Amino acid sequence: MIKLVCSDIDGTLLNAERELSEKTISEIGKLKDKLPIVLISARMPSAMRYLQKQLDITKNPFVAYNGGLICINNIIKQSTTIPIELVKEIVNHNTDNLHLSLYNNDDWYVPHLDHWAKREINNTKVNPTVKTNAEVLELWKPKQIGAHKIMCMGDAELIGKFYDELAERFPQDLHLYRSKDTYIEIAPKQISKRSAIEFLISSEFNFEMNEVMSFGDNYNDIEMLKTSGKGLAVSNAREEVKRAADETIGHAKEDGVAEFLKLYFKNQ
């Protein structure tokens, strides 16, 4: 029996306008008092809270930064960051001058308001603070603050080269996700969406993993889908994600998640 629903956001829950459709809001509205609905994303907290508010699930947990930050009622329950010395190494290794956005909790720092930053502003409805990577490191150094996420953006060929270099140099320290050919999302090695759900079901809900339903579309969703009782890939998901899922459902832009929830819970 499904007791918890977890959903990725971008490419999974949002429509073509990168918004929650009325249908999605309606179907989740019918379920939200029957079982917890948890948003689980690579996004920062402030890029998730407004979606929680639209869905009227603000008292539910949410998982930001691919599992790096777990919050319930705006209280941080678990936080895992890339240590500042490692952030510094990554910044120094960026010899091709790729765009590196640095994130900690609700702070998002961009080196320039370039087209990469503007694209993310459009996608997430959040505005960053403009500071060079060096300035952010100086700001964080006294308190030894680390990064919940580093977003690397740039030319696909250069991104591929940087990915290979980081994978070879920091295999035990970093999770690297190429969410697009022009993006690398960099997170601490020890966290994932799966680990975040395992934390929640043991500390907050007392469920088993086989009682979890999860939805996703990208590489960082694979572990979550494989280990959930019901792992579902939207039809626009990457092929590797579809293979990891129990089932492929409708397209994200056509309310695939909402349609599946409607049919699945129809008689429950």
Q: Could you report the per-residue pLDDT of 60-103, keeping only the tens digit for each?
A: 999 999 999 999 988 999 999 999 999 999 999 999 999 999 99
Q: pLDDT of 170-228, one tens digit each?
A: 999 999 998 889 999 999 999 999 999 999 999 999 899 999 999 999 999 999 999 99
Going by pLDDT thresholds of 50, 70 and 90, the confidence category of residue 105 is: very high
> Any residues with CB less than 8 A from the CB of 215 and at least 6 apart, and which?
5, 6, 7, 8, 12, 13, 232, 233, 234, 249, 257, 260
Cα distance between residue 159 and residue 150, in whole Å: 13
Rounded Cα distance between 188 and 173, Å, is 6
Cα–Cα distance for residue pair 177/15, rounded to 1 Å? 22
Share of the chain above pLDDT 90, in %: 94
Which pLDDT value is given to residue 123?
A: 86
Residue 212 corresponds to which amino acid?
Answer: V
Q: Above 80 in pLDDT, residue 144? A: yes
Tell me the C-alpha distance between 217 and 237, whole Å.
Answer: 4
Residue 67, both tokens: 């599992």
The shares of helix, strand and coil residues in the chain, as percent rounded to the nearest 5, are 40, 20, 35
What pLDDT does residue 267 have? 66
Q: Check residue 206 and give its pLDDT.
A: 86
Examine the pLDDT at 41 and tell me if it is beyond 70. yes
Q: Between the CA of residue 28 and those of 47, 57, 208, 248, what are the distances in Å?
A: 19, 9, 22, 19
pLDDT at 268: 63
pLDDT at 168 over 80: yes
Q: Is the pLDDT of residue 239 over 90?
A: yes
- Where helices occur in 6-105 by DSSP H, the ranges are 22-31, 46-55, 84-93
Q: What is the pLDDT of residue 266?
A: 86
Rg of the Cα atoms in the chain: 18
CB 36 within 8 Å of CB 4: yes
Question: Which overall architecture, per CATH, does domain 4-79+191-264 show?
Answer: 3-Layer(aba) Sandwich (3.40)
Q: What is the reported pLDDT for 180?
A: 87
Fold type of domain 84-188? 3.30.1240
Domain boundaries of the chain, sorted by first residue: 4-79+191-264, 84-188
Query: How far is the C-alpha of 175 from the C-alpha of 160, rounded, in Å?
Result: 15
Which residues are 151's β-sheet partners?
101, 185
